Amino acid sequence: MALDKEEMSEKVLAIAEALLNEGGAENLKARTIAEQAGISVGSVYNLFADLDEVHRAVNMRLLDRLGATGLAAMADLEGQGVTDVQHRILAMAAAYVRFVEAHPGSWPAVLAFNRRRATRPGPDAYDALLDELFEIVAGVLKAGDFGLDDKRRALAARTLWSSVHGIVTSGYVANSDSRQAEEIWHQVELLVGVFVKGLEHGGAFAHAETKPA
């Protein structure tokens, strides 16, 4: 009884995810996958065009898991009982931090890979997932009654979440001692607190004429 093509792909992806999590992108080797999956190198290339596609598939799984079970659930917190914007955003950020902590090796790989796909064709499925995340944040922001039209609220959502993302990834230089973790969380708390307060007081409309050349 041999595994289905689909099942074998799943097995390969599971192995690939483990490899990425242990040693990053440069640890994803065709021969290692083949050996651990009990198949030959050639068979790996039968299931996937090349290692890039394996990496991409692993990333999609990770992003799916983050979006589905993580942030969306946090967005409508405790059965809609909590309406405070700051609490809900913080809960989402906490979910994101936990997720990154749970994938110390593969999450950096996601980012590095994502950055490297410059020459690839059109709008990827990545973008769709990211847009989804941004819309969740925008949904939470809508609950808070700042004077924001849809366009500006979307901008604020992207800005806020990119900032959270920056804090988390800047802090996690794989230096995962608890000191670092606390610092990251302090920064996230500060950011969210200041951001919400700033929105409440119309900071989103304060313009300055300084622009990049």
Partner DNA sequence: ATCAGGAAATGAACATTGTTCAAGAACTAT
Partner DNA sequence: ATAGTTCTTGAACAATGTTCATTTCCTGAT
Chain contacts with its own copies (rule: CB under 8 A): 24, 86-87, 90-91, 94, 97-98, 101, 108, 111-112, 114-118, 155-156, 158-159, 162-167, 169-171, 173-175, 181, 183, 185-187, 189-208, 210-213
Please report, for residues 16, 23, 138, the alpha-carbon distance to residue 34 in angstroms, rounded to integers and kept in the order given: 10, 17, 43
Taking contact as CB under 7 A, which single stretch among the options 33-41, 84-92, 101-109, 126-134 is the one that binds DNA? 33-41
Q: Is 20 in the site for DNA (CB under 7 A)?
A: no
The one segment of 28-36, 112-120, 124-132, 178-186 that binds DNA by CB under 7 A: 28-36
150-171 helix and 85-102 helix, angle to the nearest 10 degrees: 40
Please say whether the beta carbons of 107 and 58 come within 8 A: no
With CB under 7 A as the rule, give the number of residues binding DNA: 18
Give the nearer residue to its own copies in terms of CB position, either 42 or 119: 119
Q: What is the dihedral of CA 139, 169, 90, 62, to 10 degrees?
A: 60
Q: Does 118 bind DNA (CB under 7 A)?
A: no
Region class of 63: left (phi > 0), else alpha (psi between -120 and 50), else beta = alpha
CA dist., res. 157 & res. 192, Å (int): 12
Q: Which amino acid is at 41?
A: V
Does 51 engage in binding with DNA (CB under 7 A)?
A: yes
The option from its own copies, DNA, none interacting with 116 (CB < 5 to 8 A, set by class) reads its own copies
Q: Which of 25, 35, 27 is nearest to 11 (CA)?
A: 35
Among 5, 98, 186, 197, binds DNA (CB under 7 A): 5
- Contact between residue 62 and residue 126 where contact means Cβ atoms under 8 Å apart: no
116 in contact with DNA (CB under 7 A)? no
Nearest by Cα to 96 from 126, 130, 144, 127 = 130
126 lies in the binding site for DNA (CB under 7 A)? no
Pick one of 8, 15, 16, 137: the residue that binds DNA (CB under 7 A): 8
* Binding interface with DNA (CB under 7 A): 2, 5, 8, 28-31, 39-43, 45-47, 50-52
